[in-house]
Structure formats: structure tokens, C-alpha cells
């Protein structure tokens, strides 16, 4: 072949090499992150064949499966996990669907106020809700139970599957509310009007027209909350372990953090693997439903008309239902924490207990917060996790949507893998690897393990968020940059990154918030050197220091609320101020 014939081919190769070299930093970040995620997923499976302590030179066997599957406690914990998840979803549907319908589809008043309260409820960590309900409904010391005993009624018991499902249901209602809200806001009311013309009353229209058309969205929300409830640890630990009621997540935790004897990571790995199975089954059913999603289309180009439903005097019944949820999920827990933070012991409000008010709990809370390592660890954790998730998410999103890398969609699939792995299983895998490599890399019990666990757990959210923003930026801007002689990285730095700023800000803010309030992974990987605020609150509760627990919990909630509010205010001025976009 002549040089002239080879020239075009060599030119294409040179361009490909140049393009690859310019995007090389993105490839390095995305590929290394994908390999680490695959390592974590494989570790959960591989650990089940390793007897005893984690090590790479172990002789693999099936002894962990024989021990786990032969133990009646494993089967009992599996059934408890299933019933707890189903009960949680039932509570979610009982509250979230009516809340969404009332706020988005009807003429109830104060909609903006109620929506703000949903955001506020979302900011309360689940374990604080669990602690508050223990203070209210503990059989012996619960404030509500003490009131019931004074009038001769039997005490209620928050400890058990029912109590766990109730509290988890309240905690997970806001995520379901926000997941179904877009579909409710976009609903075509002409379908309901046609049903009413046919003679159906409002309740039958709701049950036979509205709800069936919302089925895909509802099922997606149900599957998400089912998976979350199945993997949750803190509420089952608070409300189940005192009554010796185990679910798979608490069984996994106690197997590693054993009071007596050495931790059994292999046995815990089997429990983690059992946690993944129901999630995969749920996802399979959802994918089958997506194949027939065309049957549920309600928004088209023909006469699409969203319309609010007038409830008349019934709207006040709706307001009462909305306030009932906020009473249970927000007001009662907050008031309980406020009350117990200034009383030396749990007691019914009375003149005698008011006379005992003091701020000792807040003094101890401030004393704990003045410890340099606690503040440093918490701040470093939140900052590093947010930065790490954004860095990986930007690299993955750029490769998937902008590059020509072969197999780029494999990287995208791997980035979504942590969404299907329980967070406690992710922390278990990180701990397993940390112990296995401790001879060479001493990270076991350090803050780095919690950072890695959080980054892996939240990278799925980060990639979806950044990809949503990057999709909206047209490729013609990249082409214009190339015409001006800019390199790929210069285009990214000077054009794409500024346009992605809102997505980066809100995504980073949400990831930082999740990391700040998360307790399951931090508690699983806890050591003497990596205490953070949430694990410190948990330790005070374990030591029966109710006042300091409540004071620290309120400080946690207040800092989240004030911080998020301030950042959102700053962002609204920075991103959307008219002065930043003057008319030319």
C-alpha cells in the first residue's frame, strides 16, 4: 500500500490518539472508580467462601453457607426483613399517595407550606426518629405510655416488627412523595372527567382511573422504598435488638461486631448476599412492567390539561390528614427531643419536671463538639465524600455522553451497581478489604474506610444527577470550542463546567447532606480514630444519656436545616440573579 493510501488511515489514528490523550484524566478516574466498585461487589460474594478472618490466602469452602442456612435465626431474620419491608411500604402508601394527591391535585390550602414541611421531615435522620419514638412509646419509660397508665389504659410497645415498620414508614414517606409528585403534577384530568361523565363518583375515579394510570411511578417508588427498608439498619437496631428481634441487616452487623469471640466476616457475607436477592427480584418485576409502559401514557400532544380537583368542605378533612402525618413524623419527634434535652430523665411534662429543667445535656453536647477530632472527622468526611462523588460522576457522565470510548456503557452500568447493593453490605465489603490489606495499608478503623463506603454508596445518585445536567448541554458548544482551537479539557473547563455549575452544586449539596446524617456505614466501620457526629450521638444513646443524645440530635438537625437553607439562598442569588445574566 502506498504512502498516499496510508495517509488518511494514519490521520484518523493520530486524531484518535490525540483525542484519547486529551480525555485521559477522565478515563483514569472513571475506570479506576468502576474497578473499585466491581471489587466491592465481588468482595461481598467472595467473602462468603472465606472461613474465619479476611485474608487473600484463605482456603475457600462452603462452610459459611452451611452454618448460615442451617441456623434457624437466619431464616427468621430473612422473614422479619421481608415483613418489615412490606409493612414499611404499606405505611408509605397510606401516607405518601394521599399526601401527593391532596397537595398536587386538589384545592387544599397552604400547599407551599406543606411541601416545605416535607423537605424539613426529610432532613431528620432516621435514627433520631427512632430514638424519639422509643422515648414516647417504650413500654416502661415512654412518655405516652406513662400517660396511658395514668388513665388505666394498657401501654403500647414500640419494640417489634410493627413498631419498626411504623417508624420506617414515617421516615421513608418523603422520598416516595417526591418520586410520585412529577407524575401527579403532569396528570391529564380529561381522563378523570370522562370517568365522571360515565357516572363514577370521585372515590371510584381515584381507585379505578387515577391510581392504575400511576402504577409504573408507584411501583418504582414502592421498589425503591422496599429496597431501602430491606437494607436499613439503624431503626431495626434501635427497635428490634432490645427485644432480640433480628433482621438480616442487624444480624450481619452483630456477626461482625460480636460481643464474644472473633468477628465472622464470611458468615456476615452470606447474610449480605441474602439481602441482595429480594432486591433483584423486585427489579426484575419492574423491568417487566417497563416493557408495557406505553399503556400508561397520560401526557401527549392532544389536549393535555392538568386540573385541580375541588373538594369543597372535604378539603379540611384533607388538611387534617396532612397535619396528622406531620404530627407523627415531624412535630412529635422534634418536641420529644426538645423536652428530653432539658430534663434529667424521661418523665411526663408537669410542674415538678419543669422545675428540674437544666441545660446539662447541651453543656455535654458542646463539650463533645469541642473535641477537635470529632469536628475535623465530620467536616473532612462531608467535604471529601461530596468532592469524590462529584469527581467520579463528572468523569463517568462525560465518558458516557461525550466520548467514543468502546464499552462506555459498561462503565455507566457499573456506576449504577451500588444502588442495588445494601449500604451495610458496601460497608461490610470495605471493612473486609481493609482488614485483608491491613498488613500493607493500615486503613482499618480509619476515616478513609467511611469515606470510601460513602463515595461508593452515593456515586449512583451523583452520576444520574450530572448526566441529567450534561444531557441539556448541546454538543454544538463543544464543536464551537474545537473550531476556536480549544482542547477537550479546555472545552470542559471553560464551557461545560460553568454550565454544569447548578447540577454540581445541588448534587454536591445533597451528597454532603446524606453523608452528614448517615449512621449505618459509619457505625459498621467505626473505630477509635474515626468518630463522627452521628456515631457520637449513637454512643451517647447506647450509654443511656438521653439529654445529651437529644441535644446533639437537635444540633444535627438545626445545622442541616440552617446550612441547607443558607446554601440554597446563596445559590438562588448566584445562579438565577438577573444581574448575572444581563440583556445585551
**Which domain CATH number covers 436?**
1.10.3720.10
Give a yes or no: residue 318 inside a domain: no
Give first-to-last CA distance, the chain, whole Å: 57
Give a yes or no: residue 253 inside a domain: yes
Rounded to whole angstroms, what are the CA distances from 450 to 295, 375, 435, 579?
44, 15, 14, 42
Mean pLDDT of 325-329: 95
Q: Kindly report which listed range (11-25, 59-73, 244-258) carries the lowest average pLDDT score.
A: 11-25
**Mean per-residue pLDDT of the chain:** 81
Rounded Cα gap, residues 534 and 279, in angstroms: 27
pTM score, whole prediction: 0.82
Give a yes or no: residue 349 inside a domain: no
Give a yes or no: residue 409 inside a domain: yes
Do 198 and 236 sit in the same domain of this protein? yes
The answer to whether residue 294 scores a pLDDT higher than 70 is no
Do 146 and 206 sit in the same domain of this protein? yes
Do 39 and 141 sit in the same domain of this protein? no
The answer to whether residue 512 scores a pLDDT higher than 60 is yes
Do 101 and 26 sit in the same domain of this protein? no
In the listed set 243, 261, 292, which residue is the last one of a domain according to the structure? 292
In the listed set 504, 531, 558, which residue is the last one of a domain according to the structure? 531
Query: What pLDDT shows up at residue 337?
Result: 93
H helices present in 422-545, as ranges: 423-436, 447-471, 475-483, 488-491, 497-499, 501-517, 520-524, 533-542
Do 382 and 428 sit in the same domain of this protein? yes
Highest mean pLDDT (candidates 63-67, 182-186, 241-245): 241-245
Give a yes or no: residue 52 inside a domain: no
Give a yes or no: residue 370 inside a domain: no
Can you give the residue range of the structural domain that contains 438? 16-46+375-531
For the stretch 408-421, pLDDT in tens is 778 877 887 787 77
The better pLDDT of the pair 376, 17 is held by 376
Do 217 and 255 sit in the same domain of this protein? yes
For the stretch 299-317, pLDDT in tens is 444 455 556 777 888 889 9
Give a yes or no: residue 309 inside a domain: no
Do 40 and 78 sit in the same domain of this protein? no
Do 155 and 220 sit in the same domain of this protein? yes
The better pLDDT of the pair 253, 195 is held by 253
What are the helix and strand counts (H, E) for the chain? 31, 0
In the listed set 507, 531, 555, which residue is the last one of a domain according to the structure? 531
Domain count, the chain: 2
Do 423 and 279 sit in the same domain of this protein? no
The answer to whether residue 577 scores a pLDDT higher than 80 is no
Do 108 and 173 sit in the same domain of this protein? yes
Give a yes or no: residue 304 inside a domain: no
Do 34 and 113 sit in the same domain of this protein? no
What is the DSSP annotation of 253-312? HHHHS-SSS---HHHHHHHHHHHHHHHHHHHHHHHHHHTTGGGG----SS-----PBP-G
Do 120 and 23 sit in the same domain of this protein? no
Amino acid at each position: 500500500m502506498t504512502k498516499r493510501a496510508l495517509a488518511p488511515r494514519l490521520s484518523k489514528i493520530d486524531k484518535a490518539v490525540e483525542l484519547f490523550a486529551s480525555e485521559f484524566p477522565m478515563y483514569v478516574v472513571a475506570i479506576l472508580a468502576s474497578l473499585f466498585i466491581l471489587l466491592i461487589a465481588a468482595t461481598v460474594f467472595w467473602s462468603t467462601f472465606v472461613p474465619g478472618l479476611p485474608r487473600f490466602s484463605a482456603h475457600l469452602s462452603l462452610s459459611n453457607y452451611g452454618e448460615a442456612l442451617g441456623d434457624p435465626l437466619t431464616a427468621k431474620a430473612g422473614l422479619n426483613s421481608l415483613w418489615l419491608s412490606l409493612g414499611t411500604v404499606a405505611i408509605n402508601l397510606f401516607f405518601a399517595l394521599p399526601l401527593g394527591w391532596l397537595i398536587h391535585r386538589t384545592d387544599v390550602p397552604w400547599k407551599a407550606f406543606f411541601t416545605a414541611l416535607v423537605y424539613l421531615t426529610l432532613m431528620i435522620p432516621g435514627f433520631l426518629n427512632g430514638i424519639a419514638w422509643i422515648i414516647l412509646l417504650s413500654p416502661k419509660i415512654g412518655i405516652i405510655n406513662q400517660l396511658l397508665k395514668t388513665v388505666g389504659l394498657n401501654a403500647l410497645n414500640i419494640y417489634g416488627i410493627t413498631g419498626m415498620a411504623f417508624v420506617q414508614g414515617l421516615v421513608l414517606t418523603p422520598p416516595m412523595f417526591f418520586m410520585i409528585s412529577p407524575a401527579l403534577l403532569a396528570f391529564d384530568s380529561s381522563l378523570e372527567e370522562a370517568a365522571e361523565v360515565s357516572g363514577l363518583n370521585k372515590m371510584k375515579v381515584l381507585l379505578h382511573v387515577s391510581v392504575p394510570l400511576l402504577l409504573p411511578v408507584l411501583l418504582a417508588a414502592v421498589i425503591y422504598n422496599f429496597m431501602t427498608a430491606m437494607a436499613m439498619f439503624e431503626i431495626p437496631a434501635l427497635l428490634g435488638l432490645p427485644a432480640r428481634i433480628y433482621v438480616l441487616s442487624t444480624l450481619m452487623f452483630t456477626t461482625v461486631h460480636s460481643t464474644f469471640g472473633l468477628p465472622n466476616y464470611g458468615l456476615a457475607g452470606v447474610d449480605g448476599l441474602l439481602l441482595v436477592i429480594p432486591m433483584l427480584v423486585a427489579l426484575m418485576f419492574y423491568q417487566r412492567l417497563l416493557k408495557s409502559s406505553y399503556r400508561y401514557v397520560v401526557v401527549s400532544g392532544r389536549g393535555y390539561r392538568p386540573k385541580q380537583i375541588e373538594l369543597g368542605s372535604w378539603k379540611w378533612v384533607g388538611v387534617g390528614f396532612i397535619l396528622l402525618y406531620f404530627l407523627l413524623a415531624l412535630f412529635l419527634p422534634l418536641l420529644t427531643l426538645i423536652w428530653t434535652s432539658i430534663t434529667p430523665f424521661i418523665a411526663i411534662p408537669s410542674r415538678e419536671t419543669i422545675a428540674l429543667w437544666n441545660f446539662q445535656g447541651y453543656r455535654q453536647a458542646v463539650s463533645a463538639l469541642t473535641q477537635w477530632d470529632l469536628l475535623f472527622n465530620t467536616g473532612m468526611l462531608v467535604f471529601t465524600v461530596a468532592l469524590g462523588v462529584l469527581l467520579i460522576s463528572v468523569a463517568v457522565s462525560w465518558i458516557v455522553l461525550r466520548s467514543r470510548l468502546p464499552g462506555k456503557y459498561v462503565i455507566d452500568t457499573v456506576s449504577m451497581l451500588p444502588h442495588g447493593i445494601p449500604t451495610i453490605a458496601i460497608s461490610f465489603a470495605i471493612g473486609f478489604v481493609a482488614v485483608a490489606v491491613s498488613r500493607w495499608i493500615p486503613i482499618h478503623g480509619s476515616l478513609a474506610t467511611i469515606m470510601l463506603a460513602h463515595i461508593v454508596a452515593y456515586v449512583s445518585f451523583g452520576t444520574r444527577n450530572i448526566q441529567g445536567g450534561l444531557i441539556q448541554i448541546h454538543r454544538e458548544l463543544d464543536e464551537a470550542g474545537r473550531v476556536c482551537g480549544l482542547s477537550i479539557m479546555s472545552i470542559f473547563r471553560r464551557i461545560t463546567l460553568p454550565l454544569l455549575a447548578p447540577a454540581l452544586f445541588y448534587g454536591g449539596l445533597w451528597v454532603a447532606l446524606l453523608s452528614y446524617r448517615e449512621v449505618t456505614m459509619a457505625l459498621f466501620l467505626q473505630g477509635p480514630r474515626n468518630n463522627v457526629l452521628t456515631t457520637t450521638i449513637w454512643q451517647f444513646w447506647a450509654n443511656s444519656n438521653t439529654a445529651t443524645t437529644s441535644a446533639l440530635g437537635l444540633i444535627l438537625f438545626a445545622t442541616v436545616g440552617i446550612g441547607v437553607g443558607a446554601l440554597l439562598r446563596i445559590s438562588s442569588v448566584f445562579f438565577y440573579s438577573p444581574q448575572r445574566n444581563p440583556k445585551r
